[in-house]
Amino acid sequence: MTDLLAARWLFGLSLVFHIVFAAVGVAMPLLMVLAEWRFRRSGSAVHLELARRWAKGTAILFAVGAVSGTVISFELGLLWPRFMAFAGPIIGMPFSLEGFAFFAEAIFLGIYLYGWDRVSPRVHLASGVAVAASGAASAFFVTLANAWMNAPAGFAMVAGAAADVRPFAAMFPPGWAEEVVHVLLSSYAATGFAVAGIHAALLLRHPGSAFHRAALGIALGVGGAAALLQPLSGDLSARSVAVNQPVKLAALEGQFETERGAPLRIGGLPDAERRETRWAIEIPRGLSLLAFHDPDAEVKGLSAFPREEWPNTRLVHLAFQVMVGLGTLLAALSAAWLLLRLRRREPPRLFLRAVALAAPAGFLALEAGWLVTEWGRQPYAVRGVLTTAGAVTPVRSLAVPLVAFTLLYLFLGAVTAVLLRRQIVEAPGGAAAAGGGAP
Amino acid sequence: MSPPDLLGAAILAALVLYALLGGADFGGGVWDLLASGPRRAEQRALVERALGPIWEANHVWLVLVVVVLFTGFPAAFAAISIELFVPLVLLLVGIVLRGAAFTFRTYDRPDDRVQARWGLVFSASSVLAPLALGVVVGALASGRLRVAAGGAEPFAWLAPFPLSVGLFAAALFAYLAATYLAVEAEGALRDDFRRRAAGAGLAVFGCALLAGALSWREAPAVFAGLTARGWSLPLHLGTGAAAVAAFAALFRGRVRAARAAAAIQVALIVLGWGASQHPYLVVPDLTLEAASAPRVTQVALLWALAGGGVLLFPALYALFRVFKGERPFAVVDRRRS
C-alpha cells in the first residue's frame, strides 16, 4: 500500500466513523428537546423518561463524536499538510466559527446532561435548544468548508500560490446553500429513522407500550419530515452539481458521452475502458430533465474532460445509486407514516416491521452520499486547483497509524454499540412505562 | 501590535486556558491512577464528579488552538504536523481514549471490575496525553526541528529536553488538579488532596529544575528566556511568589487561595514559554511573521475570535456557576457562617 493510499484510507475511515456521531450530534438533541418539551407542556411522565433516556444516549454518542472530531482536526495537518498550508487561510473562517459552535454545544450539553436538578425547568429546556442549535451550526460551518473544496472561490491563483484571498467570498462558494441543506436534512433523516427503527422493533415486542409509541412519534416526525424534503433538496443539489461540477455529475450518472436529451440511468455498471454504462434501466431524457429541467438540455459526458481528471466512475455511480435508492425508500416510508397520521390510524405491524428494517438505511445513505461527493471530486482535494496526491504529507509508514486507528475505531464502535444496546434493553417496556417512569 | 502578534497572543491565551482547564482534567485522571489510602474510592468519585459536566467544554480550547493555528499561521501548522507527527498521534490516542473511557465508565455497569477496567484506560490515557503535549511544546521550543531544511525527520523530537517538558506538563497538570479538587472536597478528603497538591508541587519544582538545566545545552531560546531577557527576573519572581503563596495557603487550609495561586503559577509558566520563543512559532526557522496567512485572513480571524469570545465567556461562566458553586473562581476562603 502506498503512503498516499494509506493516508486516504485513514482519513476516509476517520470521517466514515466520525460522520455518524456528527449527524447524531446534530439531530439527537432535537429529539431529546422535543421529548422534554412535550413533558413540560403535558406533564406526561413517559415523555420525561424518554427525554432522560435519549439524553443518556446522546451523552455517549457526543463524547465519541467530540474526540473523533478532534482526531479529524489534527489529521487535516498530519495527513494533508500541503492542503492545509494552501487552504487554511482561505477556508479557516468557517472552521474557526465551527470551533465556537462546538464550544457552545459542549457547554450547554454539560448543563443539560448534569443539570436536571440544578437549573430551573425553563433554563434546562433552553440549554437543550442551545445544544440542538449549535449542533446544526457546527454542521453548517463544516459543510461550507467542504462546499469550497468542491467549488473553490474567494482567491486567485498567481504562480501556483493563492493570492487576493477574500475569506468571506470563500466561505460562501457556489452551491453552498444546496449542500448545507442536503447535509442538515440527511442528519435529521438518518438519526430520526435509526431511532424510530429501534423503537419500532421494541414496539413489535411490547405492543401497546406508551413509551415506545411516544418515541416513535417524535423520531418519525423529525426523520420523516426530513426524508420527505430530502428529494427536493437532492434535486437542487444535483442541478447545482450539474452547473458547478460537471465531471462529478457525469460520473455519478454514468454519462460518458456528451448528449442532448440524456437518459436517466437507474442501476447499471459504468465501464471506463469501454466508455459505457451497461445493464442500467434508462429513462429517456430523464437526466436532462432532472439536471436542467429541460428534456432536451445538453449534458456533458466524461469524454468532454481529460481522462486523468475522471474520478473512479464505478464507485461514484454505485454510491450514488445506493444513496438515491435508500433515500427514496425512506421518503416512501415517511409518506406512508404521514397518511397513517392523517387518518389517525395506529401503525400496523407491517409498517412497524418496515421501519425497523429501515433503521440503518438513513446512515447508509448518508455515508454513500458523502462518498459520492468525495470520490466524485477525485483526483482533486480542491477541485481544479490541488490534487489529493499533491496534498499528502511527506511522512512515511502511514500504514502504522492506519492500523492503530482502525483498531481504535473498531473498539470504540463496539463499546458504543454495547452500551447503547444496554440503555435500550433497560428502557421501560410494555406496562412499566404506562404507569411508572416518574422522576 | 501587528495582526500576527495579536493572533500569536490569542493562541497563547487559549493555551493558558487549556492548561488551566483542560490540563487540570488530565491531572484529575492522574489522581484517579494514583488514588490510594482508605479513601481511594471517594477520591475517584470526586474526580468523576468534578470532571463530568465540564471536560468536553474544557477540551475545546485545544481544538480552538488548532483551527486558529491553521487559519492564521498555515505554514506553521503544516510544518508542525509533519515534524511532530509521532507525538501528535500519541496525543490524539491519549485524547480519544481518555474521553471515551471516561464516558464509558459513567454509563457502563456500576460493578467494580467493569469500573476498574475503564478507570485504568481513563487514567493511563490521562498521563499519556500531557506527556505527548509537553513533548510537542518542548520540541517546538528546543530548536531541534529544522523546518527550513524541508525534510521530515520523524524522531527529531526524541531528546532529553522535550521529554523533560513532557514530565513537567504531567506534573503541572496533576498539581493544578489537586488544588482544584481540594476546593471541591471536604474534611479528610480535602486533606488528601492538600497533601497531594503539595507533593505534586515538589514534583513540579523538580521537573522545572531538570528542564531548565537541560535547556542550557538543548534549548538555547528557552535558556535565554530563563536567564537573560529583560523580563526574566520579574517572571521568575512572580512565578516563585505564586508557588510560595500556593504552598503557604495549602498548609493553612486556605484551599481557594491555593487554587488561585497555583493557577497563576501555571499561567506564568506557560506565558514565560511563549515569551521565550517569541517571535518564533517553530524555533529557529519559522517566525509568526513568516508563517502568517494573508493579512485580510488574520484580521477577519481576529474579529471572529472577538465576536466568538463575547458569546463564549458568559456561557462558560454559566457552566462553572452551575456546577462549581456560587463562587466558581473564588480566591478568598470565607469562613462558614
In this predicted model, what pLDDT tens digit does every residue of B223-241 receive, in sequence order?
988 888 888 889 989 999 9
Q: Please name the residues in contact with A290: beta carbons below 8 A apart, sequence gap of 6 or more.
A: A235, A238, A239, A264
What share of chain A in percent tops pLDDT 70? 97
In this predicted model, what pLDDT tens digit does every residue of B272-330 receive, in sequence order?
999 999 899 998 889 999 999 999 999 999 999 999 999 999 999 999 999 988 788 88
CB pair distance less than 8 Å for A114 and B67: no
In this predicted model, what pLDDT tens digit does every residue of A164-178 receive, in sequence order?
999 999 999 999 999
Q: How far is B194 from chain A (nearest CA, A)?
A: 27
Nearest to B240 by CA among B189, B199, B205, B276: B205
Nearest to A165 among B63, B75, B294 (CB): B294
Q: Distance between CA atoms of A325 and A316, rounded to whole angstroms?
A: 14
Instruction: Name chain A contacts of B310, Cβ cutoff 8 Å.
Output: none
Instruction: Name chain A contacts of B326, Cβ cutoff 8 Å.
Output: none
Nearest to A412 among B74, B100, B315 (CB): B100
Report in angstroms the alpha-carbon separations of B52 from A439, B17, B49, B333: 21, 18, 6, 25
Indicate the Cα dihedral angle A240, A84, B20, A106, nearest 10°.
Answer: 20
CB pair distance less than 8 Å for A110 and B323: yes
In this predicted model, what pLDDT tens digit does every residue of A293-350 receive, in sequence order?
999 999 999 999 999 999 999 999 999 999 999 999 999 999 999 999 999 988 999 9
Nearest to B296 among A167, A393, A394 (CB): A167
In this predicted model, what pLDDT tens digit does every residue of B174-190 receive, in sequence order?
999 999 999 999 999 99
Nearest to A315 by CA among A256, A378, A264: A378
Contact status, residue A256 vs residue A303, Cβ threshold 8 Å: yes
Q: How far is A3 from chain B (nearest CA, A)?
A: 14
The pLDDT assigned to B336 comes to 59
Length of chain B: 337
Q: Distance between CA atoms of A110 and A122, rounded to whole angstroms?
A: 16
Q: How confident is the model at residue A205 (pLDDT cuts 50, 70, 90)?
A: very high
The pLDDT assigned to B125 comes to 97
Q: What H or E segment, with its residue span, contains residue B155? A: none
Return the residue of A nearest to B67 by Cα: A96
Q: Distance between CA atoms of B245 and B81, rounded to whole angstroms?
A: 39
Instruction: Name chain A contacts of B294, Cβ cutoff 8 Å.
Output: 89, 165
Residue to mutate among B107, B115, B298, with most A CBs inside 10 A, is B107
What share of chain A in percent tops pLDDT 90? 93
Report CA A140 to chain centroid distance, whole Å: 11
Chain A residues 163-202 with a CB less than 8 Å from chain B: 165-168
Chain A residues 94-133 with a CB less than 8 Å from chain B: 95-100, 102-104, 106-111, 113-115, 118-119
CB pair distance less than 8 Å for A95 and B70: yes
Q: Distance between CA atoms of B315 and A218, rounded to whole angstroms?
A: 29
Q: Please name the residues in contact with B317: beta carbons below 8 A apart, sequence gap of 6 or more.
A: B328
Q: Distance between CA atoms of A150 and A369, rounded to whole angstroms?
A: 14
Would an 8 Å CB–CB cutoff place A283 in contact with chain B? no
Would an 8 Å CB–CB cutoff place A67 in contact with chain B? yes
Instruction: Name chain A contacts of B67, Cβ cutoff 8 Å.
Output: 73, 92, 95-96, 98-99
Q: Please name the residues in contact with A220: beta carbons below 8 A apart, sequence gap of 6 or more.
A: A192, A193, A196, A334, A337, A355
Instruction: Name chain A contacts of B48, Cβ cutoff 8 Å.
Output: none
Residues of chain B with pLDDT under 70: 149-152, 335-337
Q: Which stretches does DSSP call E strand in A135-209? A: 156-158, 161-163
pTM of the predicted structure, to 2 decimals? 0.94
Q: How is A71-140 classified by DSSP, letter by letter?
A: HHHHHHHHH-HHHHHHHHHHHHHHHHHHHHHHHHHHHHHHHHHH-TTTS-HHHHHHHHHHHHHHHHHHHH
Nearest to A369 by CA among A235, A183, A177: A183
Alpha helix locations (H) across B36-153? 40-51, 55-72, 74-83, 85-107, 112-142
Would an 8 Å CB–CB cutoff place A391 in contact with chain B? no
Region A120-124: what's the mean pLDDT?
95
Instruction: Name chain A contacts of B59, Cβ cutoff 8 Å.
Output: 66, 70, 106
CB pair distance less than 8 Å for A71 and B92: yes
Q: How far is A393 from chain B (nearest CA, A)?
A: 7
B284: preceding bond cis by omega (within 30 degrees): yes
In this predicted model, what pLDDT tens digit does every residue of A214-239 receive, in sequence order?
999 999 999 999 999 999 999 999 99
Chain A residues 404-423 with a CB less than 8 Å from chain B: 404, 408, 412, 415, 419, 422-423
Model ipTM value: 0.94
The pLDDT assigned to A48 comes to 95
Q: How far is B23 from chain A (nearest CA, A)?
A: 16
**Amino acid, single-letter form, for residue B267:** A
CB pair distance less than 8 Å for A113 and B53: yes
Q: Residue B54 is placed in which grid cell? A: 465540564
Nearest to A270 by CA among A209, A300, A313, A210: A313
